[in-house]
Structure 1
Amino acid sequence: MPLLLISGLAGEAGRYLADKLRETGTAVVDYDLRRVTEGVVRRRLRQGPLDALTTLELAHGCVSCTVREDLLPLLRNLARQPAVRRIVVRLDEVMDPERVCWELRHVLVGDRAVTDDVEIEAVVTVLDAATWLADALGDDTLADRDLRGAPDDERTVAQLTLSQVEFADVLVLAGSAPDAWTAAKTGAVLARVAPSAPILDLSHVDSKALRVAVPPDARRGEPADPHGTLLHGQPPLDPDCGITVLTFAAQRPFHPERLHDAIDVLLDGVMRTRGRVWVASQPDVALWIESAGGGLGIGHAGPWLDSPDGPAWEDVSAERRTLASLRWHPVWGDRAQELVIVTHQAETAEIEQALQGALLTDAELADGHQKWALYPDPFGEWHEEPCDDDVTAPARHDVNTGTGKDDTP
């Protein structure tokens, strides 16, 4: 059963797109988290003459669990109905489509995953051309906009909107930019954070146009491999409208305290940071860093291939094997620093200098693992998920003054 997911902060435009795609045989599901602080999630299902609004109570205080326990069985049920030929799900503005797609692929309903019954044909993100750039560059939190996906949701608007764009197979632009400069800068940002996603005009979109626009190599809901490539597609590496892509790579570990001190450079004048780092005091695990809009999240990305408990080569993707082979070090194996940083005001030379200064010196490198293990480590304690569930997102640790992702779908 084909499944189309619609995400994006432009809620009204997203609902309009879902309406446009409502054809004979299409079931449209719409989630609304605007009353989540009252402990309520609402779901609307339209299928043929049926137009049903269902109120869901938060499952043990967890939005992710509530949506998971409702959406996954619902999709399996719809996929079995002969009258349904396609499913469109419009996610609430604050929902992360990557998290939803992960659950569709990995959470069992009965004895099978939902993707045994449905096939994600595309993830579409709808953008408001008038406001998207300000959202992506701003420091507002979702709470500032009264858009929290959970009572304790601390994400920034920029973190959410950039992750929605990065995960999209197709971008749909609603309205128009207020001026030529905003339009040009928005285009420059999108070309660097989502270079593979074609951009369509909402006024001209229909089901056929969407299907044709999906690139042959689209991810179609495949969650990102934290050990995979950081530059999807072919983003321009030359500056445009003040937007610059900086790649940072090194094959020696970070000193944990110096990295913690240097992290401020990823919050000032930086639109987006994504990548994996190797901290000397934690030699066997990769840490994942994401930043946007003054918010910073540090996640656990699992062991390196060269770690004692690392995965077998045949158990990881061909992409990961290739990347590891290209950078394999005779002593460090596949351990390395790899960050992609999109800036709009910061001096890239200052960022490079700060990160280089956080690496171990030659003398510290010579001290070896036993001494590294004694370093004070600000990244050593991890945030616990709010609910006791067998399926949770990777743990996140909030660093400095920024915020990290929580369990919000």
Structure 2
Amino acid sequence: MPTPVALVAGLHATARTAAVDRLLAEHPGSVALHHDLTDVTHGHVRRTVRDRTGVLDTADVRLAHGCVTCTVREDLLPQLVLRAPGAPLLIVDLWDSVEPRSVAEAIDCDEAQETLRLAAVLTALDAAALPEDLTRGDRLRDVGKPAAAGDLRYLAEVLTRQLEYPTALVLHGGDAEDQELSRRVLAHLAPFTPVHTVAALPPVTGARVCAGELAERMDPATAQLPGDTRTDEIVTAVWHSRRPLHPARLFEAIDELVTESVRSRGRFWLANRPDELLAWDAVAGIVSVEAAGPWLAALPQAAWDLVSPARRLAADLDWDPERGDRVQHLVFTGPDLDTARFRTLLGSCLLTDEEERAGQDVWSRYDDPFAPILAKENA
């Protein structure tokens, strides 16, 4: 039977270590593997293997190309396969800025199915640091946490992916007030993910977890987005419309939208790009707009068989006789968010009745300030 594997991600080593220690104590005979990427930009990685009694082995790993993908492919997976026989649980203690998705997908692959079983993906969060981390505009390289040479990601960007992907979240540290605030924040940002303390970790040796299903919870076309919520000072507002957006007016509104919210995401469409599903992702004032493939309404019916059941279900739930699955669905979270003003601002970015009547031939000639951004993303 395949050996269960639990991933433990998180920006802060103290929180991850506490979670890993707990798993090792609860599963005698299990081992934890950690790759220290402090010097990964120079192609050097330090691997440590330990059990509940202490360190079993350390080794320096030299990589042809210093990156997380190389580390997983060239060292982590072979080590997991080597140590799987007889181990009740294998624990992967991920480096600070590693996003769990890529590692989960590498483990949950056809080649390793008979040996390894992805059983849990946890993210350990420092309750005292979480609220501030979500608002930090630092790049990983500026805080000593890059995962590869040329890593330009932002700390808050990585944190949101770490907490929105896993099967469970684990809070550690801070006082009672920190813990309560973190739980309120997570209820807005990851409302469908259970939150535990280190002392009450969930079972991690159960059925196989499908990495593809975890990815669908985050992918723009199928993402499980939060709903309208207010918890004390924290507000989440959902904006939904069928009418197309004017590219220039939306672009002008971006600064106000992202600076007055902490986290926002969703899918949208521009009048001049009716076939293109666009993904909105912003945190700590840093916004990303990317093309995420076509709307299903833009594809021939025969092509629907080539997309996942989750994608078809999401399209069915959003289907409109005139627009198909084209929709504006954006979600904003922030402290004391003025939801009425946000919705008014976004509504002003939609085409007017007169602009809508002008039709697609006119829309296609609109100036599009998003064009350079999308061209760069697709390059």
TM-score range, shorter chain: 0.7 to 0.9
2:143 aligned with 1:145, yes or no?
yes
- Name 1:51's counterpart in structure 2: 57
Match for residue 17 of structure 2 among 15, 18, 26? 15
Larger deviation, residues 252-261 vs 240-249: 252-261
* 184, 194, 200: which one aligns with 1:198: 194
Are the structure 2 counterparts of residues 363 and 65 from structure 1 closer, same or farther at C-alpha, using a change threshold of 3 Å?
farther
Cα distance, 1:384 vs structure 2 = 9.2
Please say if 1:101 is aligned against 2:99.
Answer: no
| Secondary structure in 2 matching 1:364 | helix
The aligned residue for residue 275 of structure 2 is 284
The 1:303/1:238 distance shift into structure 2, 3 A limit, reads closer
Distance 1:396 1:62, change over 3 A: farther
**C-alpha separation between the residues in 2 aligned to 1:327 and 1:218?**
25
| SS in structure 2 at match of 1:306 | helix
Q: Does 1:70 align with 2:75?
A: yes
The residue type paired with residue 324 of structure 1 is A
Distance of 2:19 and 2:158 partners within structure 1: 20
Residues 105, 211 of structure 2: 8 Å contact kept: no
Distance, in Å, in 1 between the alignment partners of 2:166 and 2:302 is 29
Between the aligned residues of both structures, percent identity stands at: 34
Alignment of 1:260-279 (within 5 A): 260-279=251-270
Q: CA–CA distance in 2 between the matches of 1:214 and 1:192?
A: 27
Amino acid at match of 1:189: V
Q: What is the deviation of 1:318?
A: 3.9
For 2:31, the equivalent position in structure 1 comes to 27
The letter of the residue matching 2:72 is V
* Distance in 2 of aligned mates of 1:324 and 1:230: 13
Q: Which moved more, 1:134-143 or 1:290-299?
A: 134-143
Range moving further from structure 2, 371-380 or 255-264: 371-380
- One-letter amino acid of the counterpart of residue 51, structure 1: D
AA partner of residue 139 (structure 1): G
**Residue 226 (structure 1) aligned with residue 231 (structure 2):** no
Gapped runs of 5+ residues in structure 1? 107-111, 386-394, 398-409
**Are the counterparts in 2 of residues 8 and 125 from structure 1 also a CA contact under 8 Å?**
yes
How has the CA–CA distance of structure 1 residues 195 and 282 changed in structure 2, closer, same or farther, with 3 Å as cutoff? same
Query: 94-103 or 321-330: which moved more?
Result: 321-330
- Structure 1 pair 310–131 and aligned structure 2 pair: CA distance change class (3 A): farther
Q: Relative to structure 1, is the Cα distance of residues 238 and 66 closer, same or farther in structure 2, using a 3 angstrom cutoff? A: closer
Which of structure 1's runs of 4+ aligned residues deviate more than 6 A?
212-221
Counterpart of 2:89 in structure 1 is 86
Cα drift, residue 34 of structure 1: 1.6
User: 1:62 & 1:384 partners in 2: Cα distance?
Assistant: 26
Counterpart selection for 2:185 from 186, 189, 192: 189
Determine if the alignment matches structure 1 residue 36 to structure 2 residue 26: no
SS at match of 1:138: coil
C-alpha change, 1:170 and 1:325, in structure 2 (3 Å) is closer
Larger CA deviation: 243-252 vs 10-19 = 10-19
Note the aligned Cα RMSD (angstroms). Answer: 3.2
Partner amino acid, structure 2, of 1:369:
Q
Tell me, what secondary structure is at the counterpart of 1:264? helix
Q: C-alpha displacement at 1:176, in angstroms?
A: 2.1
- Cα drift, residue 212 of structure 1: 7.4
Residues paired across the two proteins, number? 371
Q: Which residue does 1:402 correspond to in 2?
A: none
C-alpha displacement at 1:62, in angstroms? Answer: 4.4
Return the alpha-carbon distance in structure 1 between the equivalents of residues 342 and 194 of structure 2. Answer: 31
By how many angstroms is 1:125 displaced? Answer: 0.9
How far, CA to CA, are the matches of 1:40 and 1:383 in structure 2? 34
Give per-residue Cα distances to partners, 1:148-192, cap 9 Å, x unaligned. Answer: 223333333222222211122222221223x73x44332211111
Q: Deviations over 1:108-154 (max 9, x none)?
A: xxxx3434542221111111121111112333332332222233333
The secondary structure found in structure 1 opposite 2:262 is strand
- Show CA shifts across 1:255-296 (max 9, x none): 222222211133213121111111222222211111111221
Q: Is the 8 A contact 1:138 1:157 kept in 2?
A: yes
1:164 to 132, 144, 162: 162
TM-score by length of 2: 0.85
The answer on 1:308 being equivalent to 2:311 is: no
- Greater share of helix: 2
**Which residue does the alignment assign to 1:245?**
236
Aligned to 1:401: none
Amino acid aligned to 1:187: R
C-alpha distance in structure 2 between counterparts of 1:74 and 1:105, whole Å: 15
CA distance in 1, matches of 2:364, 2:70: 37
Q: Distance in 2 between matches of 1:67 and 1:216?
A: 20
Q: 1:311 to 1:58 in 2, by over 3 A?
A: farther
For residue 46 of structure 2, give the secondary structure of its aligned residue in structure 1: strand
Cross-structure match for 1:109: none
